[in-house]
Each structure stands twice: as C-alpha cells, then as structure tokens.
Amino acid sequence: MIATLSDPAIETKKKRSAVKAKRPAYHEPVLMEETMSFLAPAPGKLIVDGTLGGGGHTEALLTRGARVIGIDQDPAALSFGGRRVADFGDKFQAVRGTFANASELLDQIGVTQIDGALLDLGVSSHQLDTPERGFSFQSDGPLDMRLDPDGPITAASLVNTMSGEQLERIFREYGEEPAARKVAVKIARDRMVKPFITTLELAEAVESIIPRRSGTHPATRIFQALRIAVNRELDALEEGLEQLTSRLAPGGVFAVITFHSLEDRIVKTFFKHRCTEWLDRPEWPEPRRNPDYVFQALTRKPVIAGAAEQRRNPRSRSAKLRAVKRLALK
Ligand SMILES: C[S@@+](CC[C@H](N)C(=O)[O-])C[C@H]1O[C@@H](n2cnc3c(N)ncnc32)[C@H](O)[C@@H]1O
C-alpha cells in the first residue's frame, strides 16, 4: 500500500523525528567522546554527574552500563534530564542540590564511594535561551540569573543594591572587564532614576559605555560576572572539587569541563597540587611529602574540542576538559 501524507504511521514517524531533532535544542553536550574515554563508564561503576543539565553526558554514561547519580540545582534540568534517561530505571538517580554540597547529598542517599565524577560547568543552552531565567542579553527577561530558582540573590538585587565599588570589583574580577569602573558608575547613576528590572535595560546601559566592535556583545563579560556572583559559582566549584574528590574510590576518575579562564584556573590549580607528590620551599631543609597528593594527571594540557565539533557547536569553542585519576594511597 502506498502511504499518503496523512498516513498515521508517517505522522508518528514525523513526530518522533521532530522530537529527536528537537533534543539537542535543550543542550548539546560538549567533548562527549573525550569525556567518556576518561570516565570509562562500565557495568558495576557508579558515577556522579554533578551538572545533569539536559542529561546528555548522563545518558552516554548509562548507555555504556554505569549507574549514575545526576545532581542539578535547577528543577527544570532535573525533570528534563530525568525524563530523557527514564528508560534506565533505577540505574539513574536524580538529586536536587548544588555539587558544592555533594558530600551531604550523597550521605542522604547512602552513597559513600563513587567510581567517577563529572562537572560540566556553567549554564545549559536551555537556561540561556529561556528569557524568563534572565541569563541572556539577547532577549528581554527579568534580571534574574539564578541557577537555583529558589536561590536568595538575583542579578537585579545585586545591580540595584551593591555600591558602585562593589559592582566594579565584580565586573573586574569575575568578568575581567577592562571598562568595569565606567560601567559601574553608569549603573550607579542610572538606577537613581529607575532601578534596573530587565536584561535588556542592563544590556543597553552597558552598550552605551562599551561600543559594539567584534562579534561578541559588549555586555558578555558583565553578564558573566553577574551570573558568577549571583550563583557564587567559583566558591561552589572549589567546594565541589573538594567534596567529590573525597568520595572517589582508588582508580576513580574526576573529569571537569570549564568554559572560562577563572573556572579553568581553579580546576588546574586544584588538580596540579593534588598531583604533586613532593613539595619544596626555599626555607625547608629538604622536600616534604604533600599530604594532599591523591591524583595522577590524565591530561597534561586541557583537552579542547576538535575542529568539527567547534564548527557544529560554537559553545564548544571555549570548553576545556581536565581529568585526573585517584591513586590508591590513602
Ligand atoms: C552545561 S550544563 C550541563 C549539561 C550536561 N552535561 C548535558 O549533557 O546536558 C550545566 C548544568 O549544571 C547546573 N549547575 C551549575 N552549577 C551547579 C551547581 N553548583 N550545582 C548543581 N548544578 C549546577 C546548571 O543548572 C546546568 O543545568
């Protein structure tokens, strides 16, 4: 029988492929194969994905036979990611919270040791592309930027209540923005007339100070800085690295994907110190054993996306993956 356009079989097929085609729209995971090659998921292994997001990495870990605990502080990510891997049943467990509290979260579900940990930092494309979340300077939404929608601080509260000096420091430290001072002065002046409420109000104020030049929007660094401050992202990263390291079994791998230099510096320093067996200082008569020595480096330099991935997924261009393996020392 020749199928007609309204054939239910074709319609179902079309719907399925539309769902499939839509999938990456939530978030396209970066450095997938590279991440899997380090974490080496397999039956019998338990891996913590501390940044579940759209569940792309988690799905790949489960497909290769590992059990996965997926942590995210965003309930929208937990419900999307959770639905995506529903077919894996009790091999997957979703946990709401921040990876900065990984130890407590794992205690609550009775897990003492894990065989791998993954952090794929930052925001998902879905969070970025949802105007109501307030992460984007491209579309109008409330100046929010909370990864955890129940979190105590919004970007608007920072922008409207911090002193000009505090804002300047945030823009300089977290955004590495050369015009930090000028933007902070502009904000402090404008908000006396009317508080900042929306993303575009802030983006326009920044653009009046930093003219558009290359491809990047002038507000990129200011928005990055505010997001980091709202979510205390750098503190959370340091805490999460400590806590997940303490749960790794000997042979367990820790893989971290970062998207800007501030994050990468923290991960690099944290791993480097723990991969160093002996410490030496000019004032010491001889080198001393490093009590924090627990890792073997798996990446001497960060792994970056290949040309094909960078073409396919522009977000991957700033991704850096570092990985270490827990030694059987203590
Ligand atoms: C880049 S996305 C992860 C994408 C995911 N690997 C995938 O394949 O779809 C980052 C996710 O981490 C979450 N996140 C960021 N910081 C977090 C934290 N401190 N604790 C828990 N989740 C966090 C965000 O809410 C977001 O969903």
What would the pLDDT profile of 104-128 be if each residue is shown by its tens digit? 999 999 999 999 999 999 999 999 9
77 CA closest ligand 1 atom index = 27
> At a CB cut-off of 8 Å and minimum separation 6, what does 305 contact?
30, 31, 313, 316, 317, 319
- Predicted local confidence at residue 330, as pLDDT: 53
Question: Is the pLDDT at 20 greater than 80, yes or no?
Answer: no
* 17 three-class SS: helix
Mean pLDDT of 22-36: 84
Task: List the structure tokens of 7.
Answer: 């054939």
pLDDT at 213: 80
pLDDT digits (tens, 9 = 90+) for 137-153: 999 999 999 999 999 99
CA gap 213, 187 in Å, rounded: 21
Using only the alpha carbons of the chain, give its radius of gyration: 22
Q: Residue 122: CB within 6 Å of ligand 1?
A: yes
Per-residue pLDDT, averaged over 49-53, amounts to: 98
- Model confidence at 186, pLDDT cuts 50, 70, 90, reads very high
Whether the predicted pLDDT of 171 surpasses 60: yes
DSSP string spanning 32-44?
Answer: HHHHHHHH---TT
* 192, 215 contact by CB (below 8 A): no
Question: Is-above-0.95 flag for pTM?
Answer: no
Amino acid code (one letter) for 132? E
Provide the CA 41 distance to its chain's centre, in angstroms: 20
Calculate the alpha carbon distances from 5 to 1, 8, 27, 188 in Å: 13, 9, 32, 60
**Phi and psi torsions of 163, nearest 5°:** -70, 160
Q: List Cα–Cα distances, 166 to 36, 162, 172, 187, 318, in angstroms.
A: 41, 6, 10, 12, 28
pLDDT at 290 over 50: yes
pLDDT over 50 (residue 11): no
Atom nearest to 52 CA in ligand 1? 5
Phi, psi (degrees; rounded to nearest 5) at 149: -60, -10
What pLDDT does 174 receive? 98
> Quick one: 253 exposed, middle or buried, by C-beta within 10 A (0-12, 13-18, 19+)?
buried
User: Is the pLDDT at 21 greater than 90, yes or no?
Assistant: no
pLDDT in tens, 34-45: 999 999 999 999
Helix (H) or strand (E) run with residue 240 in it: helix 233-247
- Report the SS3 class of residue 57: helix
Site to substitute for ligand 1 among 28, 48, 52, most atoms within 8 A of C-beta: 52
Ligand 1 centre and the CA of 229: distance in Å? 16
The proportion of the chain whose per-residue pLDDT surpasses 70, expressed as a percent, equals 92
| pLDDT one-digit tens code per residue, 203-254 | 999 999 998 887 789 999 999 999 999 999 999 999 999 999 999 999 999 9
Averaged pLDDT of the chain: 92
pLDDT tops 90 at residue 17:
no
325 CB near ligand 1 (under 6 Å) = no
